[in-house]
Amino acid sequence: MKDRFFLDTNILIYSYSNSELEKQLIARRIITENLTVISTQVLQELCNVVTRKFKFSYEQAEQCIRECSLNNKVYINSDNTILGACRIANVYGFSFYDSIIISAAIESECSILFSEDLHHGQNIENVLTILNPFKV
């Protein structure tokens, strides 16, 4: 079975960024060359960032959400995701919202969580490794 890779919001944001072209290329390559998973939380955060920071209209944001939903498997967070996030936040000291991302990655059976913001190389629960794809 091919590894599944979970994407934190920042990876999707770079895929739409025109100011950091090297990171854009890396993000797009990850998405096109792998089986990638995102969560409903990631889609919500993406919409917030592209409308606020990139000044996209909501019609443009809808297009981003459609593209991301087509190019990545979408995991729907549940009450179990939130309960898992509480445990992860307690054990590992991550913020609650970062812990929801981690919990969703574990529940969706991903082996790698790509994130620029979390602890590069950290292993969670012996099933998930956090990697920063932009580290040299």
Identify the CATH number of the domain in which residue 58 sits. 3.40.50.1010
pTM: 0.93
Residue 39 lies in a domain: yes
Q: How many domains does the chain have?
A: 1
User: Does residue 136 lie within any of the structural domains?
Assistant: no
Contacts of 23 (CB under 8 A, 6+ apart): 14, 17, 134
Quick one: pLDDT at residue 18? 87
Task: Provide the greatest CA pair distance for the chain.
Answer: 41
Cβ neighbours of 17 (radius 10 Å): 17
With respect to residue 29, please indicate whether it lies within any of the assigned structural domains.
yes
Q: Which domain holds residue 52?
A: 4-131
Decide if 81 is inside a domain: yes
Domain membership of residue 115 (yes or no) is yes
Q: What is the pLDDT of residues 91-116, one digit of tens each?
A: 999 999 999 999 999 999 999 999 99
Res 136: pLDDT: 57
Mark the ranges of the chain whose per-residue pLDDT is less than 70. 1-2, 136
